[in-house]
Amino acid sequence: MTTPLEFFDTDSLLSDEDKAMRDTVRKYVESKVKPQLAGWYESASIPARELARELGDLGVLGMHLEGYGCAGTSATAYGLACMELEAGDSGLRSLVSVQGSLAMFAIWKHGSEEQKQEWLPRMAAGEAIGCFGLTEPGFGSNPGGMITRARRDGTDWVIKGNKMWITNGSVADVAVVWARVDDGADEGVRGFVVPTDTPGFEAPEIKQKMSLRASVTSELVLDDVRLPADAVLPNVVGLSGPLSCLNEARFGIVFGALGAARDCLETAIAYAKERDIFDKPLAGFQLTQAKLADMTLELGKGMLLAIHLGKLKDEGRLDHRQVSLGKLNNTREAIAIARECRTILGAAGITLEYPLMRHANNLESVLTYEGTSEVHQLIIGQAVTGESAYR
């Protein structure tokens, strides 16, 4: 018997180093994480600090960044690590993605040397956890409409506003917060490095979730948070700053969503082989094989796309619109695979004994965050037509 991705021989497209990183993360997820996931999901809790330290020891936090204690791996290796993490749970991959591709990348790309030295080594080791505050209660797909404001008060900055749906928020030691500055030489959207013990900063956790339950999701409340002058990210002004970070995280999702889909498909195949119905294995029925064949095809196509985008990124030739192709296709197909696999398991598929419904619920969030499917459709539509449909 051939596994779905073996059928496509995708390993032949990967370097030995990339495969070694993938296998290391897979072993960790299989042995340390998967046995706990059903319990974490049911209780809507996760030992984020313990996991962060373990993931830091594993070398996956900010792994695709250079220097400051980061591993400096290829983009493809990072993508493969995201795939293995999300084969465990989307919440686990989100912890790593927000830490490395949003909070750490923002500081690494746009921060001062002092900011990098202060935060990146600790974040790479998992000793400090970061979050990324862009989305607001009233502004998700249109971040340019944000109402969070930063103003000068002498040499200090004072920030007031709210952020919403923030992964890691309640356990974070540092938040990268984006706010609008309305006047002076600093006018525009600016990023700020905010230690979460700063007076006026609160991060109440959002508990009533049906998706990403094994993940910390929070609101950020900034009530006249006062910061020193050097808290601002000095090397970027405007939405290009946060959008560059989102592009990094979206790249990880291109691979990550396939991890959830692969775990669902492997589970469904194993179940269908063992489950007898009408005196023969469920896997021996034509309709079951048609489902499995179609899902194998979509998973393999998604993997080929992800590896291609990874190679483009490693060569410095990846366009952000191509990331939209990968995010749109792979999240859309992953959620379809999760739902179809659930039908193969019947009623058993809705229980936490199997990962299918957990993955399907998580993928509802992955489909939406860091650019909804509709936003990515419009990005692609503008690329192929030359016409903007945003307004």
Q: Give the integer Cα–Cα distance in Å for 87 and 355.
A: 9
Q: Give the integer Cα–Cα distance in Å for 227 and 237.
A: 18
Beta-carbon-side half-sphere exposure of residue 202 (alpha carbons within 13 Å) = 9
Q: Which two tokens stand for residue 84?
A: 């293995």
Does residue 298 carry a catalytic annotation?
A: no
What's the distance, Cα to Cα, between the start and end of the chain in Å?
51
The three-state secondary structure class of 389 is coil
Residue 203 amino acid letter: A
Q: Which of 146, 138, 121, 135 is nearest to 56 (CA)?
A: 121
The three-state secondary structure class of 226 is strand
Contacts of 347 (CB under 8 A, 6+ apart): none
Residue 247 amino acid letter: N
* DSSP bridge pairs for 150: 159
- Please pick, among 6, 370, 374, 387, the residue that the annotation labels catalytic: 370
**Residues with catalytic roles:** 370
